[in-house]
Chain A
């Protein structure tokens, strides 16, 4: 934090101004001689060894000057260049008023090129960055400036249905690999002029653009600063996807608790924006990275809001049960059987005791054996080709379980316990949360083995204390429940939509909040 403040006051905020590594591209202005400029580009792109750089030389008839259009093959749309750049230049009629050579570049940019995205650039460095992002560069003989025309034409797939976050009811579009399309998908959800989309660059060798989206009137400005600060600190040669970015942004990469998450649903990203989160988009990633997340982001699914109040909340209660089962069930079984037999109804207790009589292992070993088998089964299920997947499930669950019981390796009740635990872990919506509970489960089993319910209780208390103390970009993990903050109360359960109104921060002027903190309680 203090580190950040220092940086802030030194005026080094936000964007990196060309990392040190970018020295490879000389930051020098263009020459007036077209051939010199062209030669420089050719050297940088290792022409002719590298065939990526395409050149199209032409003579602008009206002013009778040579010009050169440069673009990178595959990154830009050559049709667009032909129709909207070259054609207008060739068809340009000399102006009747007289010479306008003085402002030729501006003239061309404003009145000749029909394409909407264009920009005057003065140096090589900028030009290369534009080129690799798909723009075409128009160099004119005798001019020290060039025009970059946005003609990006990367191949895109069309918007498809989500594959991970499937809903029965609700929008069916998912993000694709293009940042621009993704942004438009979000804008379609959130039609608000205050939806800010800032662009930052990451990767010093092969710079990639990363879009930072947030609602300027809702998102906590401190939070936005935190996220941008974190992005600007990323120091890597190349970052290809958001998933890579995710780990770089995290404060605690070793922690079991995730501090960011991705979603492939534009509607989900939209609702996150409206709750004040920051959404990061990047080309090549069919996901949006949600920057600060809380426990609730992991626990909720998109569908909760689409289903009616009772149905959505029912699903949530089931999921909460699943979360606890997945985390604690084997530990509780172990604790009950080895420490607190009085808890089991007498009939069941006798049945367990009877079946355990022939099992040679202590309960812990029995449990770990089965648990491990289940985890292997799950991992195998993901790797095998889809047609075999169901077979693996049947073989694993039915035959293996049955056989293990008959071979007196495990007791039948334990199979039930592990099966319920396994099913529960599949009911947890977020992958991160699911894996986390699966790992923590072993900790709980161990503590139950050592101290029974006391062990479980203490481990739980420690886990809870850790979970509540961690922050993701300054936002506590269990906010707004603990610490309590004004919110739409969409936590364990959701209120009906009419009551889920947001209280934008503008309700209490932000500056006042910073200077003199409110009670922090009642809205």
Chain B
């Protein structure tokens, strides 16, 4: 018994002797919520912008500091993220930590260069870097973007990006993807990152979702627009997709990450108007890849559900099966057309696809080696893609038929 007691004391003593360099009080750390990466002036140099949350603003009443800004933004030029982090310490009193880092913003300039894959590839080696961080490509330099991004509602930056990223699941304007997905697609498959800007680039009005960030006609409000996506291949940005194409690319995946999206189609009954529909998916998209023949044959079957919650032409769809079929057909045709043109664009301009179809194709191979020899990217370029939408209309909103203004007019 005595000996056991001593053993216990020994363990406690060992524990007590052990110190740990890790311990750090919260107030001595600077929590970075956003990192911006830009091409430096010299080659192989990056400008790293840290946006650090200020705990004394808008967090708790008892420690509110009225006149301080909600975040501190520091830009450092260095060879990589880690050294920038250290250099930033020369001006910052608190120790920088990435433990609450959620968002990485990359300037388009850097993203299009070769350096980016090196910067991000070496950053992930740092255990502090989290693979669930979201990658956003900004049209302007990330530094300018971060400085310009001053949302009215969300004073604290992390909250803004958190809500914005939640939004994507409901609108589909931007792809839902994080660093983990980025590192999954390093072998030539396309990776879509959200595309954002604070600049305005007026191109006139288009059909609702065919905009790219900066093009959405908007007056006043917050400066940032996030719509469309940047296409990355092998860690390098190679192009952009607009809102519509981004949405379709999500629909064509086997596992759609987007809950619902609202989009418009020409009204089949009244060509002066367009009709807004809420679209969602009740079942997974079916993908069949036949790799035995050349060109490769890909069949995609996309089941979509449509809700008619607005009907600007005030046409009555509920009374006639024919009219409903017409609506179905319009949706089907439009979607298929849009999808075909997206596929065509991808096949012509890039070697690869962002729909994770390569994973389905892998099913047809026995070993990894065989698949690697097959060279999916090149095969996709020439593939014969057949996309088929299965539309079902599940709801016509809360009214049985649209209000009868028109009939009254005709009656008079």
**Contacting residues of chain A (328-352) with chain B, CB-CB under 8 angstroms:** 337-339, 341-342, 346-347, 349-352
CB within 8 Å of B: which A451-466 residues:
451-452, 455, 458-459, 462, 466
Interface of A is mostly: helix
- Give per-residue flags for A247-272: 1 if the beta carbon is below 8 A from chain B beta carbons, else 0: 00001101000000000000000000
Binds A, one of B27-35, B176-184, B248-256, B347-355: B27-35
Does B158 interact with chain A (Cβ within 8 Å)?
Answer: yes
The answer to whether A349 and B22 have CB atoms under 8 Å apart is: no
Q: Contact at A351–B23, with CB atoms within 8 Å?
A: no
Contacts of A450 in B (CB 8 A): 15-16, 18-20
With beta carbons under 8 angstroms apart, the residue of B11, B20, B56, B156 that contacts A462 is B11
Q: Is the CB of B8 within 8 A of A466?
A: yes
A405 to B22, CA, bound (A): 27
B47-83 with Cβ < 8 A to chain A: 53, 55-56, 59-60, 62-64
Contact with A along B139-167 (1 / 0, CB 8 A): 00000000000000000101100100000
A362 and B55 form a contact (CB under 8 A): no
Tell which of B15, B19, B26, B53 has the most Cβ of chain A within 10 Å.
B26
Nearest chain A CB to B156's CB is how many angstroms away? 7
Contact yes or no, B20 A451, CB < 8 A: yes
A319 contacts B by Cβ under 8 Å: no
> Is A354 an interface residue when CB atoms closer than 8 A count as contact?
yes
CB contact between B55 and one of A354, A443, A449 (< 8 Å): that residue: A354
Q: Flag if B31 contacts A346 (CB, 8 Å).
A: yes
**Complex contact B100–A337 (CB within 8 A):** no
Identify which of B1, B62, B162 gathers the most chain A CB atoms within 10 Å of its CB: B62
A450 to B99, CA, bound (A): 20
Q: How far is the CB of B165 from chain A (nearest CB, A)?
A: 13
Q: Taking the nearest CB of chain A, how far is it from the CB of B57, in angstroms?
A: 8
**8 Å CB contacts to B: which residues of A302-357?**
337-339, 341-342, 346-347, 349-357
Query: With the chains together, A349 CA to B55 CA distance in Å?
Result: 8
A364 closest partner in B (C-beta): B23
- Chain A residues near B19: list those with CB within 8 A: 450
Instruction: Name the residue on B nearest A447 (C-beta).
Output: B15
Residue A446 lies at the interface, judged by CB distance under 8 Å to chain B: yes
Whether B309 sits at the interface, judged by CB under 8 Å, is no
Of residues 1 through 27 on chain B, the ones whose CB sits less than 8 Å from some CB of chain A are 1, 5, 8, 11-12, 15-16, 18-20, 22-27
CA distance A352 to B62 in the complex (A): 11
Whether B97 sits at the interface, judged by CB under 8 Å, is yes
Given A338-B25, A341-B31, A346-B33, residue A354 in contact with residue B60 (CB < 8 A): yes
Q: Are B26 and A356 in contact, with the CB atoms below 8 A?
A: yes
For A358, the chain B residues whose CB sits under 8 A away are 63
Considering the complex, which residues of chain A in the window 349-395 have a beta carbon less than 8 Å from any beta carbon of chain B?
A: 349-358, 362-363
Is A339 a contact partner of B56 (Cβ separation < 8 A)? no
How near does chain B come to A186, taking the closest CB pair, in angstroms?
33
Q: A341-B100, A451-B15 are in contact. Are A357 and B56 (CB under 8 A)?
A: yes
From B16, B24, B31, A338 is in contact (CB under 8 Å) with B24
Candidates A252, A346, A446; contact of B15 at CB < 8 Å = A446
Is there an interface contact between B20 and A452, defined as CB atoms closer than 8 Å? Answer: yes
Query: Nearest CB to that of B64 among chain A residues?
Result: A354
A162 partner residues in chain B, CB cutoff 8 A? none
Let me know if B63 and A346 touch, CB within 8 A.
no
- Please give the distance in Å from A230's CB to the nearest CB on chain B: 14
A412 to B61, CA, bound (A): 11
Assembly CA distance A444 to B380 (angstroms):
59
- Chain B neighbourhood of A252, CB < 8 A: 1
A340: nearest chain-B partner, CB-CB: B99
Q: Is the CB of A363 within 8 A of B25?
A: yes
Choose among B60, B63, B99 the residue that contacts A341 (Cβ–Cβ < 8 A).
B99
A357 and B63 form a contact (CB under 8 A): yes
Q: Please give, as numbers and ranges, the residues of chain B lying within 8 Å of A337 by CB-CB distance.
A: 25-26
With A351-B55, A466-B8 known as contacts, the answer to whether A455 contacts B27 (CB < 8 A) is no
A452 to B25, CA, bound (A): 12
Whether A451 touches B25, Cβ cut-off 8 Å, given contacts A252-B1, A346-B33, A349-B31, is no
Contact of B97 among A341, A346, A351, A446 (CB under 8 A): A341
Contact B53 A341 (CB under 8 A): no
**Contacting residues, chain B, for A355 (C-beta < 8 A):** 60, 62-63
Within 8 A of B (CB), among A147-202: none
Residues of A that sit less than 8 Å from B by CB: 251-252, 254, 337-339, 341-342, 346-347, 349-358, 362-363, 405, 412, 443, 446-447, 449-452, 455, 458-459, 462, 466
- Ordered by A's residue number, 10 sampled pairs between the chains whose C-beta atoms are within 8 Å are A338-B24, A346-B31, A346-B100, A347-B156, A350-B55, A353-B31, A354-B59, A355-B62, A356-B25, A363-B25
